[in-house]
Structure 1
Amino acid sequence: MHHQCFPRLFACFSFLLLAMPGNLPAQVEAPVLKWQHGGCYSSWCETGWYSSPAVTDLDNDGEMEVVAATYSVFILNGEDGELIKSIDPPGGRVWPDVVLADLDADGDLEIVTAHGSGYLNVYDHTGTILWSKNPVTSELRGLSVSDLDNDSTLEIIVTGAVYSKTNTWVYEHDGTLRTGWPQLSNDLGYAYGTFNDTAAVGDIDNDGESEVIVPSDVHYICAYYPDGSPIWADAIYGDRAWGKVGVWESLIPELRGWGSCDGDRVESYRANFAHGAGAIADMNRDGQPEIIVTGNVYDCSTASYESRYTGLYIFDADRSRFKGATFNWEEAPVDTGAPLVEDYSMIESAIPNPAVADLDGDGLPETLFSSYDGRLHAFWLDKTEHGNWPYSVYNAPEGVFRFASEPVIADLDNNGTAEVIFTSWVQKGSSLTGKLHILDYQGNPLYEPNLPGPFGSADWNGSLAAPTIANIDSDDDFEIVVNTAHSGVVAFDLPGSSLARILWGTGRGSYHRNGVPYHDLSRCPADISGDGQVASADLAIFAAAFGKAKCSGADCPADIDTDTDVDAVDLSHMAAGLGQRNCL
């Protein structure tokens, strides 16, 4: 938006309503490498793990910064990737995504990271450490923030790769351990270590407060209220909390409460959630959120608990399996793909973090996840994969294993259907590199450029972490920011993407990293595209919807005042919000 529009803002909006319909013909253009080696030293880079970067204007100077973590935490200039600040916090490597959030509601963002030797670190917007906690000596692999009790300040939730049932800690914004935590601390469930960023945190019962869902290294999923007390399961499971209802392939042993593990498939296939992760979304748009979880289905009759496939489950708030008038997930999809390899000395592990977004524009979300079968999966609510899904990054004749990252999802050309963006990595010792992948909503590849090769002595490269879509420079187009394994932080331009709609734009859905796509509509009500700023993408969506009547929710994101009409009042909200940033 050019500045000459501001003196006659409403005249400009009138022009935009005529000239910028959201369904103009468009085409996704090829990504262009913008910069690389962000945060690297003169001849090598710290290893990047599964930590998705974040983008914001930390100092409110109108320029965007990239915040990424490996072992150090780096603040980079979005325009060129130049280092602004390097922080060497206590704790070692960073597995989970970087959190950006205004924890204490003072108007300034904080940075939060969790580390390998059990340290949780919180920094102010300048990168200065405010406080550190060390709840456990094991690695903290899960990190998210949420306003659990609806008091306008955010709580910090961390989970650990521990060898005990106590795996989840919740801290207040000032570092005080929240009353009722850590959990699990009683016999109302079964839990063990979380070996990925598995927790999902959100309001699953529409009471205005957030619940904490924690899959872990057992075939159970624990669920807690904000005070740490357990959430009870539906009476069909007897008098039991979520954490005492096992997840089996078949409902028969699940309802009974046990399986015999005797070699019969019904009695022997169950899910483990060491790497399985959760998400929260309203899958059938009835106003009631569901809980989506991936897990490793294994045969408990085998001595080594042999893995069979990655399972996908959808639960209601009472732990019953999701069932609606049209869709029935009481029986989940089976045999999605056997593992290629489960040896991280050969290739780093595939992590099945679910991403939830409407790919085809029908108003209902699909669920995507990568798997150890070398493919990225996309399931519709009919429990099938449409089009060219699943999409394989592994090509057997190449003779090298490849895995895919958690995807991000955006309608890059604003044509009503989404593109899926993810990265891949390769087998160690292969001297090869992974790719940046952009697919259409049917799973057809559009562009797959190689990521840069390793910088230094490493013998492979790629990116294990979900990329982040954000506008990191002074133009109107979006960029893709990638935290690679051995070439530092890398950025790609996305030409022609100024009108993109961001649906799942970074690891775990938002910079709160809680498995819920989020942008702060109370702070930026005109950010209807969900990209964290009020700019041309929002104008395009608004222009296409202006005049719409009797609409609501996902069908009417441009209804800013939620009165079911997109009218002059919404136009005034759009005018007031134009230029706002840092809404994520």
Structure 2
Amino acid sequence: MQKRIAIRTVLVLSLLASAACAVDGSEIAAPVLKWQQCGCYSSWCETGWYSSPAVADLDSDGDMEIVASAYAVVALDGETGDLLWRAKSGHDRSEDPDSVDNVGRTWPGVVIADVDNDGAIEIVTAHGRGYVSVYNNEGYFEPGWPQHPVANEFRSLAVSDLDGDGNMEIACGLARGDDTNVWVFEHNGSIRQGWPRLADGDEGSAWGPYNDNIGAGDIDGDGLPELIVPSDTTTICAYKADGTHIGTNEMYHDHPGHDMDYWGEVPAYIDLEYETRGWGPCYTEFTARANFANGPANVVDVNCDGVNEIVVIGDVHDCHTSPYTDLYNTPYILNSDRSRFNADGFDWTTPPIEAGAPIIQDYAVIENAQPNPVTVDLNGDGRIEILYPSYDGRMHAFWLDKTEHGNWPYSVYCASEGFYRFATEPVVADLDNDGNAEVIFGSWVQKETERTGKLHILDYNGNVIHEMDLPPAKSGDWNGVLAAPTLADIDGDSDLELVLNTAHSGVVAYDLPGTAGARVLWGTGRGSYYRNGPSMINSAVSQKGDLDCDGSVTSADVLIALKIAVSGGYNSAADMDENGYVNVLDARTILQLAAEG
């Protein structure tokens, strides 16, 4: 007994010592404007949309470059912001940018990837009027590109090696009212066999994805990613690499008139009873149902048990009214068979409700909020939190207990200002490496206000650390940033910088002093330069006790186990003796594993 008490004391003191060290010197320095209006013309800037910039050493000289796109694609010097080259969208550097026009705007983030497995970086972009481009690192088209399969805008772009052959496939979602809404291209520009989808004769429903919605990740444990495609309907489609539809849980089968064998056939009602039978009483009474026109999908292991789930944000509406009345944005957590997540005491068979009504939905007044989900572990307990901006003017952060802790949700809209304001998708990093992450995002404002958005830095509990105005518009009557920022060291000083593709002041960069030791958890729009909605946590748990999912059991996992024990929570990966709860004995076992290995 005395030995047990001694071990418990050591563990608790270790936790307290860790907390004490985290407090010392953990003040977050204010961002410092580094440069602005980069990539602009002499008297005006192209309007920046929701496209997050990318950072890479394009020419392998040891210095970082920034690739961003509002309409044209630009490469900038990381240190100075100087323009290195510009190519109008749909064109490359072989054409004088002053002699051609852009084919359209750029909605999805710029992709940086070795698409053809040749060891060199490629740049992938998607634009209005149905253009998809792959450039080499110097801004010239790769063979087979660009492609122009349709006349409408591609708003979704994601890359992934779907078949494990070393080459990347490129998935694009079409913002058009049509059930054929997703194309998959091979690295050489050819359309992959089995695509586009939906195809004639396919079961299920789909419509236009009107945001950067496509997610990619392994949901069935075969080691290869699947594609998850939410769109402007109540269902979500899920596909294998060849376009084959992914099946559903038997709870959805054998319902007369509503046999829902595949993901794309299951309507997302709030009430699970309505969902499992395939219909709700929309014609007779209030009925809450979700639409996914603007709700991207992330594939992530939310509870660190080695099995990936799918997180997607639904726009819940009352389908009894005409037109439908939008009620709130809320997260769904789904299993690989489209059933709803319910594990480790976290029951998501009913998603969070009444999360916040829209304050405005008129893009003639203010550009629309896009509820891109960010799935990260904010507080180091080994479980994922779900953050997203919403049309209620707030940034939300849901824990797995389906509640928002601390000061969440955080409102960027303040009625007393006299104008509307919305938030971008955030990026997340533990800037001072104290074990708790900071949340960083921008905002934009109502049109015709001559006002600008802000840069916001919050702690993991939603408390403000810093807020400051972004630069004013170089051209236009409002400013801010619609796109997620990007975190990277762009000047080689070891500290992070924050890069923003603003609405009317070009590309802007801020220094983040004192962040050389930061841990980046979600560093750019849609989580990575593949833009496919991953978590930065490795979902392959190597053994029980690996609570931070990094592939090994370490002292960090001991501290997580203690946090779970102190809070009275539960995580099956921490329940070492499998007695149904987590206590200090489980933490001791994890400590022993850490010492052994």
Give the TM-score normalised by structure 2: 0.83
Residue of structure 2 equivalent to 1:249? 270
Count of residue correspondences: 520
In the alignment, structure 1 residue 98 sits paired with structure 2 residue 98: no
Secondary structure at the aligned position of 2:469 is classed as: coil
Secondary structure at the aligned position of 2:343 is classed as: coil
Distance between the aligned counterparts of 2:538 and 2:126, measured in 1? 24
Q: Any residues of structure 2 matched to 1:559-578 within 5 Å, and which?
A: none
Specify which of 149, 169, 187 is matched with residue 202 of structure 2.
187
In the alignment, structure 1 residue 364 sits paired with structure 2 residue 383: yes
Residue of structure 2 equivalent to 1:559? none
Distance between the aligned counterparts of 2:554 and 2:234, measured in 1? 48
Residue of structure 2 equivalent to 1:68? 68
**Structure 1 residues 249 and 542: CA distance shift in structure 2, 3 A:** closer
Distance between the aligned counterparts of 1:565 and 1:108, measured in 2? 39
Residue 547 of structure 1: CA displacement? Answer: 13
Q: Any residues of structure 2 matched to 1:227-376 within 5 Å, and which?
A: 227-238=242-253, 239=259, 240-265=261-286, 268-376=287-395
Give CA-to-partner distance per residue, 1:8-33, whole Å, 9 cap, x none.
xxxxxxxxxxxxx9886422110000
Specify which of 201, 211, 227 is matched with residue 196 of structure 1.
211
Secondary structure at the aligned position of 1:400 is classed as: coil
Residue of structure 2 equivalent to 1:469? 487
Residue of structure 2 equivalent to 1:575? none
Give CA-to-partner distance per residue, 1:352-402, whole Å, 9 cap, x none.
000010111111110000000000000000000000000000001111000
Secondary structure at the aligned position of 2:276 is classed as: helix
Q: Any residues of structure 2 matched to 1:138-157 within 5 Å, and which?
A: 138-157=152-171
Equivalent AA in structure 1 for residue 262 of structure 2: A
Equivalent AA in structure 1 for residue 218 of structure 2: D
**Structure 1 residues 65 and 542: CA distance shift in structure 2, 3 A:** farther
Secondary structure at the aligned position of 2:387 is classed as: strand
Secondary structure at the aligned position of 1:170 is classed as: strand
Equivalent AA in structure 2 for residue 262 of structure 1: Y
**Greater than 4 Å deviation, 4+ residue runs:** 21-24, 518-521, 541-548, 564-568
Specify which of 420, 428, 435 is matched with residue 409 of structure 1.
428
**Structure 1 residues 247 and 501: CA distance shift in structure 2, 3 A:** same
Specify which of 496, 500, 518 is matched with residue 482 of structure 1.
500
Secondary structure at the aligned position of 2:347 is classed as: coil
Distance between the aligned counterparts of 2:362 and 2:467, measured in 1? 26
Residue 312 of structure 1: CA displacement? Answer: 1.0
Specify which of 211, 220, 229 is matched with residue 205 of structure 1.
220
Residue 152 of structure 1: CA displacement? Answer: 1.2
In the alignment, structure 1 residue 171 sits paired with structure 2 residue 175: no
Give CA-to-partner distance per residue, 1:29-76, whole Å, 9 cap, x none.
100000001100111100000000000101000000000001100100
**Structure 1 residues 546 and 77: CA distance shift in structure 2, 3 A:** farther
**Structure 1 residues 394 and 164: CA distance shift in structure 2, 3 A:** same
CA contact (8 A) 1:545 1:566 kept: no
Q: Any residues of structure 2 matched to 1:501-540 within 5 Å, and which?
A: 501-517=519-535
Residue 178 of structure 1: CA displacement? Answer: 0.5
Residue of structure 1 equivalent to 2:544? none
Give the TM-score normalised by structure 1: 0.85
Equivalent AA in structure 1 for residue 273 of structure 2: I
Residue of structure 2 equivalent to 1:218? 233
Distance between the aligned counterparts of 1:502 and 1:94, measured in 2? 26
Distance between the aligned counterparts of 2:121 and 2:198, measured in 1? 31
**Structure 1 residues 162 and 325: CA distance shift in structure 2, 3 A:** same
Distance between the aligned counterparts of 1:311 and 1:161, measured in 2? 22
**Structure 1 residues 124 and 546: CA distance shift in structure 2, 3 A:** same
Equivalent AA in structure 1 for residue 529 of structure 2: Y
% identical aligned pairs:
55
Give CA-to-partner distance per residue, 1:127-157, whole Å, 9 cap, x none.
1112111121110000010010111111000
| Further displaced range: 127-136 or 460-469 | 127-136
Specify which of 482, 498, 523 is matched with residue 516 of structure 2.
498
Q: Any residues of structure 2 matched to 1:413-428 within 5 Å, and which?
A: 413-428=432-447
Residue 567 of structure 1: CA displacement? Answer: 10
Distance between the aligned counterparts of 2:360 and 2:485, measured in 1? 24
Residue 306 of structure 1: CA displacement? Answer: 1.1
Secondary structure at the aligned position of 1:448 is classed as: strand
Distance between the aligned counterparts of 2:245 and 2:73, measured in 1? 35
Distance between the aligned counterparts of 1:22 and 1:68, measured in 2? 36
CA contact (8 A) 1:279 1:354 kept: yes
Equivalent AA in structure 2 for residue 219 of structure 1: T
Q: Which runs of 5+ in 1 are unaligned?
A: 1-20, 522-529, 531-537, 556-563, 569-584
Residue of structure 2 equivalent to 1:49? 49
Q: CA RMSD in A?
A: 2.7
Equivalent AA in structure 2 for residue 100 of structure 1: I
Distance between the aligned counterparts of 1:47 and 1:439, measured in 2? 27
| Further displaced range: 311-320 or 180-189 | 180-189
Distance between the aligned counterparts of 2:537 and 2:312, measured in 1? 22
CA contact (8 A) 2:555 2:594 kept: no
Secondary structure at the aligned position of 1:129 is classed as: coil
Secondary structure at the aligned position of 1:243 is classed as: helix
In the alignment, structure 1 residue 123 sits paired with structure 2 residue 141: no
Equivalent AA in structure 1 for residue 154 of structure 2: L
Secondary structure at the aligned position of 1:166 is classed as: coil
**Structure 1 residues 454 and 263: CA distance shift in structure 2, 3 A:** farther
Secondary structure at the aligned position of 2:157 is classed as: strand
Give CA-to-partner distance per residue, 1:535-581, whole Å, 9 cap, x none.
xxx9xx99987999x9xxx99xxxxxxxx86999xxxxxxxxxxxxx
Distance between the aligned counterparts of 2:595 and 2:116, measured in 1? 34
Residue 474 of structure 1: CA displacement? Answer: 2.0
Distance between the aligned counterparts of 2:227 and 2:151, measured in 1? 22
Residue of structure 1 equivalent to 2:40? 40
Residue 162 of structure 1: CA displacement? Answer: 1.4
Distance between the aligned counterparts of 2:303 and 2:535, measured in 1? 16
CA contact (8 A) 1:307 1:338 kept: yes
CA contact (8 A) 2:218 2:225 kept: yes
Equivalent AA in structure 2 for residue 356 of structure 1: T
Residue of structure 2 equivalent to 1:80? 80
Secondary structure at the aligned position of 2:273 is classed as: helix
Distance between the aligned counterparts of 2:214 and 2:523, measured in 1? 18
**Structure 1 residues 543 and 309: CA distance shift in structure 2, 3 A:** closer
Equivalent AA in structure 2 for residue 222 of structure 1: C
> Which one has a bigger Cα radius of gyration?
2
CA contact (8 A) 2:376 2:536 kept: no
Q: Which runs of 5+ in 2 are unaligned?
A: 1-20, 91-102, 254-258, 540-547, 562-572, 575-592
CA contact (8 A) 2:554 2:594 kept: no
Secondary structure at the aligned position of 2:316 is classed as: strand
Equivalent AA in structure 2 for residue 460 of structure 1: W
Distance between the aligned counterparts of 1:438 and 1:187, measured in 2? 46
